[in-house]
Structure 1
Amino acid sequence: MKRSSTAVLKAAVFLIGLPVLAVCIYGLSRFDPNSPYWALPELENLQYPLLIGMYIGMIPFFIALYQSLKLLGYIDRNQAFSTLSVKAIQNIKRCAIAIIIVYLLEMPFLYMLTMADDAPAIVMGLFIIFASLVVAVFAAVLQKLLQDAIRIKSENDLTV
């Protein structure tokens, strides 16, 4: 039962990562310097800051996906209540915070894109920041609960 539930979660992690990877690959073609879209004077200076910010933000995202796969592997091996799990959750939290920082730094460029093109860039940036904030808070709470559970388990092991 447990293996099938973690297999579903592992598949969900892959299904989350594939569209983001596709956006990264497709994003390269959208940022063609010869494209008439970027030839507009308001947009010509935004192309590279947006591209660099997007790819820098993808690094912690994929690290967090890898850490979540490691965490699911620990659960499969009955090591859910271990320091390895706490470390994986801590890494996920750090990655979420890194994504928040990257997109907060990217917000002025997204604002300029919104002003120049009427694109919903600010809304998309705020959505990414909010989603990462939810993940960071959830990971922090889960990390604290897991640390307390490990502490209680070790106390019980000592008393028996």
Structure 2
Amino acid sequence: MKNGSTFFLKISVFLLGIPVLGLCLFLLPQLAIKATEEAQKGSELAYVVFGILFVVYASTIPFYFALYQAFKLLQYIDKNKAFSELSVRALKKIKNCALTISGLYVVALPLVFIIAEWDDAPGLVLVGMAFIGASIVIAVFAAVLQRLLKEAIDLKSENDLTV
């Protein structure tokens, strides 16, 4: 396969990481500063914000690892190694990262609920659940692709043995 056939997807994977990096470098530190100021004033809600910020920062680690695995998977496709154990392992790692992200946001959901109750904004809980749902969809999709790829590899090796 030509090296340029997955170029658009590689660029897309790279562009997915830029907004998250911007969020972690610019917006979230501002929220942490405001929460610190509120904590110094005696607000207990600031500690809830710190918990949510911790979960968001912790979820960036599996997010970027999954993006790296997706990039590696695209490189395997470029090198005609799409039907290999390397691809199956990359999909398994992507699935595990998506499940980890989902688990982290499940842990943070009660904290989001506390803020939603305080601010009287029930839609905030739906936003938190959207992150969980998106991660689960990605995990299921990666698991299905992993199983299909594994079956295709087994079928290919079985056909190679009969020839």
TM-score for both structures, normalised by structure 1: 0.92
User: Could you say if the C-alpha distance between residues 84 and 38 of structure 1 is closer, same or farther in structure 2, counting changes exceeding 3 Å?
Assistant: farther
User: Could you say if the C-alpha distance between residues 8 and 131 of structure 1 is closer, same or farther in structure 2, counting changes exceeding 3 Å?
Assistant: same
Alignment match, 1:151: 154
| CA distance in structure 1 between the aligned counterparts of 2:126 and 2:2, rounded to whole angstroms | 38
* Equivalent AA in structure 2 for residue 149 of structure 1: A
Select the structure that is richer in helix.
2
The one of 67, 70, 89 equivalent to 1:68 is 70
The answer (yes or no) to whether the contact 1:38–1:47 under 8 Å persists in 2 is: no
Aligned pair count?
160
The answer (yes or no) to whether the contact 2:98–2:136 under 8 Å persists in 1 is: yes
Stretch moving more, 141-150 or 41-50:
41-50
* Equivalent AA in structure 1 for residue 129 of structure 2: L
1:3 aligns with 2:3: yes
| CA distance in structure 1 between the aligned counterparts of 2:100 and 2:115, rounded to whole angstroms | 22
Q: Secondary structure at the match of 2:46?
A: coil
In the alignment, structure 1 segments of 5+ residues that lack a partner are none
Report the Cα offset of residue 3 of structure 1: 2.8
| CA distance in structure 2 between the aligned counterparts of 1:61 and 1:14, rounded to whole angstroms | 12
The answer (yes or no) to whether the contact 1:38–1:44 under 8 Å persists in 2 is: no
Alignment match, 1:43: 45
In the alignment, structure 2 segments of 5+ residues that lack a partner are none
Alignment match, 1:132: 135
Stretch moving more, 118-127 or 93-102:
118-127
| CA distance in structure 2 between the aligned counterparts of 1:14 and 1:76, rounded to whole angstroms | 17
Report the Cα offset of residue 29 of structure 1: 2.1
Report the Cα offset of residue 39 of structure 1: 5.0
Alignment match, 2:116: 114
Stretch moving more, 14-23 or 114-123:
114-123
The answer (yes or no) to whether the contact 2:95–2:138 under 8 Å persists in 1 is: yes
Alignment match, 1:82: 84
Give me the identity figure in percent: 46
| CA distance in structure 1 between the aligned counterparts of 2:19 and 2:126, rounded to whole angstroms | 19
Q: Name the Cα RMSD after superposition.
A: 1.9
